[in-house]
A and B are shown apart, each in its own frame.
Chain A
């Protein structure tokens, strides 16, 4: 029988990290094949190569008999493979409902709506999700989210199902149900192969074939019974440890927890009726517990059951809504620094500074806890030795293996010798050997140093090592006891069975109140194979357009900012940004004080451009006032001004203008010259000279804007600027979000093409930008009373082409940025400067010089400004602006084409 997948001498590197080191393996078809091993050993890399999500660097990968290096084969294969990446619902869309998520994937595979409806109904029924069909994915529990992921993966009846850690962080009952569901699906399509990666060794016991991996290499392959037999071990977990390299196993002994010596005294941690609500969501519901000195107390439960929230209340990070928490007998107080110095906290996500080295991290925390230099050095040296960190001191935390990082986190959390240690899932993703080592450190702290430890976990064997545990589900504590006591009280075989027993009990209690959700039922019919594959499909494009629109409509903040943020800025800029120069302040130093000097100044005082300030007293006063900017121009009339005029000698007036803002200074000079001319032509001004008419009159005609009022130019250009900045940023973020949050995988592994993906995502933002344009247009007409004198249709056509271009510009920026922050600031910086300075907002592009001119010419706004200003203020029609429209039309296809070329259909 042909293998489901075959890897031959495959190697993979991420930068300098080797993820896969010359790996060869054959994965048999028609069964569940499991990749086992801790995090970061290359399991996910193998799966993403098989799914075609990642580019092959070296070696050969065959899936279902074809070569994955061939683009054509991958395209053919897409409809036959389904891939569920790691992370709860990572390829799902949290704002979309269950049905909408499924519909999205259905459209990607080109299904008609009739087919979609019956397939969706069938899958929802099979997974028991029918009652939750309209619930957004983000409000599903971890277990339900994984079921939805499975529905989305199975919508097109794949021959090969690839699941990357589908049950990590899911409660044990949901985990068990998930595997039942997989068995049902396999019974329905016997030919279907399933490849799974998992970190739970107990799950691996049930698989048909196992591949044990460590450090980018295959350690062993075979059926579970073969593996156990070759290592003479009773469980797969122990078999796995047995095949680990000798160097890593060195010194490993089965961990023994010495019994706790009970000391009497005040309980160290007490929680009474603790309840925490966020809005109408209850995260922690009436939780109480008492923990003694030196005890290891465990919280066991799935993701989102309230473990983290409880811990945040204990550390004073969150206030309790109801109830109270006592540490060392005192209520938790946010400002009580002395108590906080006695507590060590290790939060769930790795919370050290990844860009600092091991030594720097330790030193920083010693400083922050104000340990004196000498003892601090001793303490750090001691921790480094005991935690085995000496080989890593100068490495950045970012480059450390996960296990070492967790040891460092623990070392940092206890650098100040706390009496209480609060640890939130400290061993997630760490391999079994390293987990044992970590726990031996914890046990040492508890038993030998009397440290009270409060720890949460979703590993059963870790929970079994605690002195007492609380089982948690949906914010409630189901039971608290010693591990042995819990097993005994339910009469169960193991702790896991006991937990499942408690979970089923609560579900039944809940079900008694509401109608029961149907359980899995196997009555499913076989389905016809998928249809052919079209090179361009409007349905797939529509899938992205519909999905993006739904998400946008459900994000009131993005929508609100996008539509009304621009309106706000339009008001501010419409009134505030102006090239008019008026209300200029001037002051006079009249050293003549004659009728003639007052007549001259009268001309200035009559001007609407100028406002007079109190008279200048001296030269020093003049200089000071110019320096401080309190006057823009100082006019000096020297003594003898009137006498000179009277005697027919040329008289002089001296004007000093503040040159700090050159544009304003030049305009003031122009105004003063104009006033001078008016004065000379004024028949009321009596001089000894007869008035002569000038040789010629220069008549200046301001076209399009007789009053030369800048609002008629500024409002149309402001519209251009708004439509450049906001749609571009939103579009760039929309693409990069998929990269950062992981749903970009759907581009890699489904038949959707790059153009369908990009254009599909662009459509909603173009629509939004056009709505934005409509709002701005209405504001221009009715708030600013800037009439539209020219062709309305040309303006609308230009606006459409323009927003197509600006959204495509954002798209282009997104193609070479990886994180949202880079996309955001990249777009902001690459848009604001060209838009405000180089695109004709203040001066025409043709009169710019240097780099600025080329930036201006390459920016679409330079071509829309003439259209906007032309139709609004110049009263132009299509024929006048045809050239600009055509030039503007070139941008969108050019940018989209470039973006598609730069976007990869596989992860590199």
Chain B
């Protein structure tokens, strides 16, 4: 029994070394992996796509008073581009053309009305089709205007102190820097993408080149063939993730990672077990490389877009959120956030590790079941 297991392990090991050798000879794949874990991560992290940054703003100043000029001058880089003056009549055409996301309209006699306690209204027009910018920016713009007015007024009269004050502290990332988030999420998306592509393509390539027949005619079981692909491709991606975290994220992007990277890497290995299994499964379902590609898009895009790595999970409809609970990518994102940002330990994340492991085993069984019936059929 033990002897058999050892023989099997040795077979899996030697078959896997073959996979590694193949990989080192495939220049396109190597370039792809390096790009995905370096340049792609850096360009996403530096894109500021998830925060308010250089938002375009215009001010229709009908008051032209010291207060209105003060408000105009308070919109500063990097949150806002320098505010552009705009005539009231041009507000609608300019917003239609998408020139400005925000247009502040300061009515005539604004300063006079403020000082005489009339509580005049000041309007911010927001282009609500630019979702992230609009949501964050309208809050900021409102705060900026309120602060400026309060400041201006406080020099002239007594302002009562607010009876209740709210102190907000953002834990784990006090300045809400998006590069911290986007860089690690970029790595996670790449792990899913590459693991599926590499293991799926490894199966299709063996089938197209006829080497699958060759393997299956030898005394090798599908389990051994599948496991060899899992460990070899998993190892490559694990190394790439470690490189990306230590060198790219912590080094180049200078993101302070508080949590335990080794614990996270254990999670990565468990997740890779899943991602390579599903890749192999797809490799047995598809008959050709183009079909694999289309299947890959249908599986990968939802797993990626809906895992919580791009948009918040809470805003999905309940039925969809329930379905996504079954996807290990959701748990991967969740435990990555827990470990890397919030410094959670094994006690917090073990349940999610387990969930990923269970789904992974299911896909492994599914892949094995498909493997022999399909592998020999096409050339």
Contact = CB atoms under 8 A, between A and B. Distances in A.
Interface of A: 278, 312, 315-318, 334-335, 337-338, 340-341, 343, 345, 347-353, 355-356, 360, 364-365, 367-370, 396, 422, 557-558, 561-562, 565, 568-569, 572-573, 575-585, 600, 624, 626-629, 632, 645, 648, 650-667, 669-670, 672-674, 676, 679-680, 687-689, 692-706, 708, 710, 712-714, 725-726, 729, 733, 737, 820-822, 824-825, 828-829, 832-833, 836-838, 840, 842-844, 846-853, 855, 866, 869-870, 873-874, 876, 880, 883
Nearest to A583: B314
Interface stretch (B119-127, B230-238, B239-247, B267-275): B119-127
Given A578-B311, A659-B174, A627 B338 contact: yes
Nearest to B292: A824
B305 A660 contact: no
Contact of A645 (B53, B142, B164, B337): B164
B312 A698 contact: no
Contacts, number: 443
B122 A698 contact: yes
Nearest to B295: A561
Interface stretch (B7-15, B276-284, B355-363): B7-15
Nearest to A653: B166
Contact of B128 (A651, A703, A880): A703
A24 to B, nearest CB: 37
A828 B32 CA distance: 11
B213 interface: yes
Interface string B39-69: 1101110111111111110000000000000
B126 A702 contact: yes
B209 A351 contact: yes
Contacts of A725: 297, 301
Given A370-B7, A849-B54, A655 B171 contact: no
B290 A733 contact: yes
Given A580-B315, A627-B348, A698 B145 contact: yes
Contact of A687 (B28, B163, B291, B316): B163
Contacts of B308: 661
16 contacts: A338-B219, A351-B210, A351-B211, A364-B18, A558-B290, A624-B348, A628-B349, A648-B163, A650-B165, A655-B168, A662-B181, A666-B52, A701-B126, A729-B297, A847-B53, A852-B47
A427 to B, nearest CB: 16
Contacts of B211: 351-353
Interface in B94-117: 95-98, 101, 110, 113-114, 117
B165 A657 contact: no
A542 B334 CA distance: 53
B218 A340 contact: yes
A652 B166 CA distance: 6
Interface string B210-227: 110110111111000000
B135 interface: yes
Contact of B302 (A576, A672, A873): A576
B134 interface: yes
Contacts of B291: 557, 561
Given A584-B314, A651-B164, A340 B302 contact: no
A820 B290 CA distance: 7
B49 A705 contact: no
A569 B172 CA distance: 34
Interface of B: 7, 10-11, 14-15, 17-18, 21-22, 25-26, 28, 32, 35-36, 39-40, 42-44, 46-56, 93, 95-98, 101, 110, 113-114, 117, 119-136, 138-139, 141-143, 145-146, 149-150, 153, 160-174, 176-178, 180-181, 193, 197, 201, 205, 209-211, 213-214, 216-221, 288-298, 301-302, 305-306, 308, 310-312, 314-317, 320, 324, 334, 337-338, 341-344, 348-349, 372, 376-377, 379
B160 A843 contact: no
A651 B165 contact: yes
Given A653-B165, A654-B167, A670-B135, A317 B344 contact: no
A799 B113 CA distance: 49
Contacts of B160: 689, 692
Given A368-B15, A658-B342, A837-B44, A316 B130 contact: no
Contact of B98 (A624, A667, A866): A866
A581 B348 contact: no
A707 B48 CA distance: 26
Given A701-B123, A703-B128, A851-B46, A652 B167 contact: yes
A820 B122 contact: no
Contacts of A341: 219
Contact of A364 (B14, B132, B221): B14
Given A695-B114, A850-B47, A661 B337 contact: yes
Contacts of B138: 700, 702
Contacts of B174: 659
A627 B343 contact: yes
A663 B314 contact: no
Contact of B18 (A278, A353, A579, A833): A353
Contacts of B294: 557-558, 561-562, 565, 729
B270 to A, nearest CB: 18
A842 B139 contact: no
Given A700-B142, A708-B134, A843-B50, A870 B127 contact: no
Contacts of B293: 729, 733, 824-825, 828
Contact of B312 (A581, A600, A708): A581
A660 B172 contact: yes
A836 B127 CA distance: 20
A897 B367 CA distance: 44
A825 B198 CA distance: 10
Of A369, A580, A584, A844, most buried by chain B (CB within 10 Å of CB) is A844
B96 A874 contact: yes
A338 B263 CA distance: 43
B325 to A, nearest CB: 13
B50 A655 contact: no
A148 to B, nearest CB: 22
A664 B239 CA distance: 31
A708 B127 CA distance: 10
A367 B14 contact: yes
A626 B342 contact: yes
Contacts of B314: 581-585, 632
A278 B25 CA distance: 36
Given A318-B377, A360-B21, A838-B49, A578 B173 contact: no
Given A673-B143, A676-B164, A699 B338 contact: no
Contacts of A657: 168-171
A330 to B, nearest CB: 15
Contacts of A351: 209-211, 213-214
A848 B47 contact: yes
Contact of B153 (A653, A679, A695): A695
B122 A699 contact: yes
Of B121, B133, B312, B317, most buried by chain A (CB within 10 Å of CB) is B312
A708 B128 contact: yes
Nearest to B180: A662
B167 A833 contact: no
B233 to A, nearest CB: 15
Per CB-CB distance, the 10 closest pairs between chain A and chain B, nearest first, are: A852-B47, A659-B173, A579-B131, A670-B139, A705-B128, A349-B210, A317-B376, A355-B25, A662-B176, A824-B293
Given A558-B290, A656-B171, A662-B176, A347 B136 contact: no
A828 B296 contact: yes
Of A360, A624, A725, A874, most buried by chain B (CB within 10 Å of CB) is A874
B305 A628 contact: no
Contact of A673 (B126, B139, B163): B139
Contact of B181 (A582, A661, A698): A661
Nearest to B185: A661
A364 B122 CA distance: 77
